[in-house]
Amino acid sequence: MVEPGPPGSSGGDSHDGKTGGVKGYLTKRHVYVMGCTTLLFSTVYVWYMSNGTSSKVSYIMSNTQDLDDFHKTKQPRMTYTKPQILKPSRSDVLMMTPWFAPIVWEGTYNSEILNEQFRRRNVTVGLTVFAIKKYVVFLNKFLETAETYFMVGHRVNYYIFTDRPEEVPKVPLKEGRNVVVLQVQNYPRWQEISMRRMELISNFSQQQFINEVSYLVCVDVDMRFTDQVGVEILSDLFGTLHPHFYAAERQSFTYERRPASQAYVPSDEGDFYYAGGFFGGTVMEVYMLTKKCHEAMMVDKANGIEAIWHDESHLNKYFVYYKPTKILSPEYLWDDDLGRPEILKKRRFLALPKSHAAIRNK
C-alpha cells in the first residue's frame, strides 16, 4: 500500500492524477505530452544544427508536400497476387544472405510494385561503362540494347568513359535518357585500364555524379542486354554473383591469396565471389567502394604487387568486410559458353563473343 504523500509529491491517491510542478496544477498527461514535444523539438534542433545546412529542412518540407499530394490525388489501384508467408516464391535457390541482403532471382519480386515505388522517389540512375581503345566498337550494341531493356520507364544517364569521344555512336534515346561522354586517357596495358576504373569512378562520383543521379550501376561494355534489368537491382550497395563461381565452395574462389597484397582474403573468409563487371549502389556508397579499392591498388603498386584479378580482386576484398545490401544472381551477368542451368530462368546481361587478343592493348 502506498501511503499518501505531502501536497505536490508523487505518492498516494490524494493527488487525483496530478503531479509535482507549479502548485501541482499540471496533470501527468499534460507533463508527458509537453516532455515528448520538448524532446522532439530538441532532437530536431540538434539534428538540424549538427548538419549545419537548410537542406534537411527542405527535405522535410518536400516530403510533407509529397504527403499532401498523396492525400489530394487519387492513387492508382495496386492489384497483384498476395504474397504467401508459408510459400516462398523460389525454393531452389538461396534468396537471403545471413546478413539479410536479398539475392535477386527471377520470380522473387514484383516489378510493378517496385517501379511504382521508385517513380514516386523520382529516381535517376547513372550507368557507367569504359570504352577505351578498341572497346569503343561495343558501344553501339550496348546502348541499343540498354535502351530496350535497362531501367525502362526511368531516367538514365549513360556515363561513357572513353579516349575516343568522336567514335561514340549516336543512338536514339527515349525521353529522360542522356549520353554523357567523359574523355579520359588510355594506358598501354589493359590491366592498368581495368584498375584505373576505380579511380575514375571515385573522382567523378565526388565531382559530378553526386549532383546528377541517385544510383550508379557500373558494368562492362563488351556485353548486351537481353532481358529486363530494372529497379529491382537498386540498393545502397550491390554486387553480382560471378557466373563461374556462384555454386562453388569458398576454397575454389579465385580471391587474391598472397598476404602481401591489399586484396588478400584468407582461405577461411568470404561469402561469395563477385564479378567485377556489374556492381553499384547509391553514389556515396559507390564512391566509398571505388575510393577504397583505388587506394589499395596504389599501395600494391608501390610495393610491386598486382592482384590476381586486378580491380575485381579488390572489389571482392571490399565485399568481404563491407557486405552488399543486395546481391544480383548470375542472371545479371552471364556467358552462354557456360550453358543454361535449370535455375537460370532469365539471361539478362550477356557477354558478347570476342577475341580478347584482337582488342586488348589496341
Q: Estimate the share of the chain in helix, then strand, then coil, as percent rounded to the nearest 5.
A: 40, 15, 45
Alpha-carbon span 73 to 107, nearest angstrom:
32
312 as an active site residue: the answer is: yes
DSSP 3-state of 300 = helix
| Beta strands 177-183; 155-162: pairing state | parallel
Would you give the DSSP letter of residue 334?
B
With 0-12 CB in 10 A as exposed, 13-18 as middle and 19+ as buried, what is 128? buried
CB distance 324 to 271 below 8 Å? no
Alpha-carbon span 319 to 342, nearest angstrom:
28
Buried b (16+ CB within 10 A) or exposed e, 54-93: eeeeeeeeeeeeeeeeeeeeeeeeeeeeeeeeeeeeeeeb
Which is the catalytic residue, given 106, 285, 306, 312? 312
- Which string of DSSP letters, residue by residue, matches 49-64? HHHTSTHHHHHHHHHH
CB distance 259 to 300 below 8 Å? no
Rg (the chain; Cα; Å): 27
With 0-12 CB in 10 A as exposed, 13-18 as middle and 19+ as buried, what is 289? buried
CB distance 182 to 161 below 8 Å? yes
Alpha-carbon span 286 to 243, nearest angstrom:
22
DSSP 3-state of 358 = helix
Closest CA to 151 of 225, 238, 220: 225
Beta bridge partners of 215: 125, 282
Alpha-carbon span 29 to 19, nearest angstrom:
9
Which residues are marked as active site? 312
